[in-house]
Amino acid sequence: MKTVINIVLAVCAVALVYVCYGSIMGPIDFDNTKKAREKEVIARLIDIRKAQVEYRNTHQGVYTASFDTLIDFVKTAKLPFVKKEGALSDEQLEKGMTEKKAMALINKAKKTGNWKEVEKEGLMNFKRDTMWVSVLDTIYPKGFNADSLRYVPFGNGAQFEMASRQDTTKSGAPLNLFQAQTPYDTYIGDLDKQQLINLKDVQSKLGKYCGLRVGDIEQPNNNAGNWE
């Protein structure tokens, strides 16, 4: 009888240790996995932001709410790249010379064949040539897959929610905003349910979005991410 009691007590002790271990390690494991996954989700949101900024720069300041449009832009559009040779000296700058003025003199000389003024201003070795480079090669590393922009890492095929807004400020100035986001449920919904509920409860009470977001269509935030 005593042996049976000892065995029962031993089993209870093991069970208690297991419960205690789980109560301590559960939140830690959840947080570690959340951080690891969010690192990749954030990287993807930053990639989206890069594409949106370049899209805005070539579309009169307007963003797009369509991933089809954004991805096609990344794959096919080209951006101007200025190849520079030579620089204006302090003396030239003090005399009022600017890169714009220098290029105007050089372009005039090319048309007329008269390089005396260019020589006089010391601009013979000053060159500014514009080259056109693809968006894909300009803002992303070699081998980047543009089609991946729309998909949430660890989301099992889920896509980011993306929106844009065109409006005007009270002063009448144009206001163009965008945001891309994904909720916790999409990329950590398969983890500990109670820990997820606790996380969402805290975020909701703080008035924060329950997930990761870049940009904001409600108010200008310089396209910042809510992790920054």
Give per-residue pLDDT as tens, 36-85.
999 999 999 999 999 999 999 999 999 999 999 999 999 999 988 878 88
Alpha helices in the chain (DSSP H): 2-57, 67-76, 90-94, 99-112, 116-120, 135-139, 184-188, 193-205
Whether the per-residue pLDDT at 187 is higher than 70: the answer is yes
The model's confidence at residue 18, banded by pLDDT at 50, 70 and 90, is very low
Taking the CA of residue 144 as centre, how many other CA atoms within 13 Å lie in the half-sphere pointing to its CB? 19
Distance of alpha carbon 64 from alpha carbon 74, whole angstroms: 12
C-beta atoms surrounding 74 within 10 Å? 24
Phi (first) and psi of residue 166, to 5 degrees = -115, 125
